Structure 1
Amino acid sequence: MAQPPPYIELYESGELERRAARLEARLEECDICPRRCGANRLKNETGSCNAGKLVAVASVCAHHGEEPVLSGSRGSGTIFFGNCNMRCVYCQNHQISQDPDRQRSNQVSPSRLANRMLYLQNELNCHNINLVSPTHYIPQILQAIFEAVPQGLRLPLVYNTNAYDDVETLAELEGVISIYLPDLKYADSNLAARLSDVPHYVPTARAAIKEMYRQTGELELDEDDIAVSGLIIRHLILPNDLAGSEASVKWIAGELSRSVPISLMAQYTPRHRALEVPLLSRSINAAEYRRVINLLDVLGMENGWLQDDSSQDYYLPDFNREDHPFERG
């Protein structure tokens, strides 16, 4: 029988409730993410992430297109949160991340979010709860977990993030999150500021990922090869080496471990405002993809996943679909 996730023990000890209360108090002068914008979100002032007191839930579904250790046979129970603390000009989820007016109609309470988690577990029978772009809603998410546990929530939680996370905030998630899934986007903070409107991305994301690795360590799988704990790092290759892939991969190998799984993504295609940036106005080519794969081989980094040539079409969502953003009609 599978071990219950550690947040059950945190709930039973009262620690989960205390953490949720501490995080909620921080919303009064919001410092949840590295922007530390100071908005009073308890009074529904919107922060720099365009989020207020309630949670924008854009989509809830069983996602079969995540890494195999997450999707398995029954799918990863994915909750796509609206709004974001970054402003990537090429964001594939721009329909929900950068359209705050639309996301107001998707706002729910933590209690309703708890119900969505239980739906993924009990009705869709997913392997895990996959929280996509959760950074700006961490206090509400912990409250939802606190409410869902006595109703039977038992699935491991996946924290699926852009890695622009605050280490102090992440510390409150120790023992709550089983699997961290950060996307290491850049190796140059100046490019991050230009393309994603965030300062100091590189040291911030690297510090956050180190904290994630400290909490969960190496990836562990169950008898069915489904992830139960650990770190997986995603890296989206951008054209013209704008992502600084070589520097990022070498940092992972040198500062974390060569055994950390890397999910190497070839799915980039110009979306949102990418066509306004000439260096981003095309998909990556085979040579760019092969160069990063060869680097992984040279460094002896054998754990992880590669996307095939169809990824540019297959992995792009459409959140105008009411049922499932990744399933074509």
Structure 2
Amino acid sequence: MIRFPTYESCTLCPRMCRIDRSRKTGYCGCTDQLKAARAALHKWEEPCLSGPEWARGGSGTVFFSGCTLKCCFCQNYPISSEQFGKELNSNELADIFLRLEDQGAYNINLVTPTQFLPSILPALDQVRSRLSIPIVYNCGGYERPEIVEYLKDYVDIWLPDLKYHDSALSARLSNCGNYFEAASRAIYQMILQTGAPVFEEHAPEEPSQPSFLLMKKGVILRHMVLPGHRDDSIALMEWVSRELPKGQYLLSLLSQYTPFYHSCDHPDINRRITSYEYQKVVDAALSLGLTEGFIQEKSSAKEEYTPPFDLKGL
């Protein structure tokens, strides 16, 4: 077990920039001041996290400012790259967690939290004994396995991206040449810690409604198919099938790519994906035996699926 990193010589992510964030910003764009942009029920995560559309609850998402990646197409760029958000302390964040559960959240969903872990963990310590819902760690996959291991008593559900297989592609689009090396190791550690997915039947909220399943523990591995790069997606599917233990995770293939931010600087991704491109990746995954998980309708590629960053709930 490692000694948990502090803000003073930051090694929270694989960039290991060792910047003293009490004095200046790290690569993530953040100081040691915790910031978030939204805390609210979210209906557009995977069904086992958000519940069905008609249900009153949702995933209790807290969107943190900053990011350890620099994806040129980021859908959350006002908070990830421009650091929009409200300053909070750990006590205020703990209260937010409790309010979300009171509002009917099925889980507490920490979105891009790595850069603020020294502030988030004290908040979780305050409320863990009072929360009856799981903690979701929703991240870009670019994590240190040692940090993942440290979080084993905090995180119930891991929701990482697996964005790229090709290092040249990750360097060009996310300024991160060692993305796959780091993400593949971290994701393996996540699966090792949680084991096979565990679900719980959620009682109907109205007598006329059916019950539904919610995830209590496990890993959901996300991959968003990029336009013009289905070969890289298929290479990832081959790695997942070959290297990750069967039955120990769910795969979520996303078709929701929408050009945002600086995607216009890269003509190969300055468009939405086609149905043909997405279906080719789905077909490859199925042929490799990757049948447990989720696929999206092509209609998911819409701006309205990105929530407004309006400081709601803060």
Q: Which residue of 1 aligns with 2:161?
A: 183
Farther off after superposition, 43-52 or 198-207: 43-52
1:201 aligns with 2:179: yes
Q: Which residue of 2 aligns with 1:76?
A: 59
Q: What is the TM-score with the length of structure 1 in the denominator?
A: 0.86
Q: Which has the higher strand share?
A: 2
Given that 1:96 and 1:319 are in contact with CA atoms closer than 8 Å, whether structure 2 keeps it comes out as: no
Given that 1:32 and 1:166 are in contact with CA atoms closer than 8 Å, whether structure 2 keeps it comes out as: yes
Given that 2:225 and 2:253 are in contact with CA atoms closer than 8 Å, whether structure 1 keeps it comes out as: yes
What's the secondary structure of 1:153's corresponding residue?
coil
Question: Which runs of structure 2 are paired with 1:143-292 in the superposition (5 Å)?
Answer: 143-149=122-128, 152-224=130-202, 225-241=213-229, 244-259=232-247, 260-292=249-281
Q: For the aligned residues, what is the CA RMSD? A: 1.9
What's the secondary structure of 2:201's corresponding residue?
coil
Given that 2:38 and 2:310 are in contact with CA atoms closer than 8 Å, whether structure 1 keeps it comes out as: no
Given that 1:92 and 1:316 are in contact with CA atoms closer than 8 Å, whether structure 2 keeps it comes out as: no
Match of 2:77 among 81, 94, 113: 94
What's the secondary structure of 1:239's corresponding residue?
coil
How many Å apart are 1:45 and its aligned residue? 2.6
Q: Which has the higher helix share?
A: 1
* Structure 2 unpaired stretches of 5+: 203-212
How many Å apart are 1:191 and its aligned residue? 1.1
How many Å apart are 1:223 and its aligned residue? 2.2
Q: What amino acid is aligned across from residue 302 of structure 1 in structure 2?
A: T
Q: What amino acid is aligned across from residue 79 of structure 1 in structure 2?
A: V
Given that 1:238 and 1:268 are in contact with CA atoms closer than 8 Å, whether structure 2 keeps it comes out as: yes
Write out the 4+ residue segments of structure 1 that deviate beyond 6 Å after TM superposition.
Answer: none
Distance 1:58 1:320, change over 3 A: closer
Farther off after superposition, 83-92 or 135-144: 135-144
Tell me, in whole angstroms, the C-alpha distance in 2 between the residues paired with 1:284 and 1:233.
20
What's the secondary structure of 2:109's corresponding residue?
strand
What's the secondary structure of 2:36's corresponding residue?
strand
What's the secondary structure of 1:34's corresponding residue?
coil
**Percent of pairs identical after alignment?**
36
* Structure 1 unpaired stretches of 5+: 1-17, 325-329
How many Å apart are 1:181 and its aligned residue? 0.5
Number of aligned residues: 298
Given that 1:94 and 1:272 are in contact with CA atoms closer than 8 Å, whether structure 2 keeps it comes out as: yes
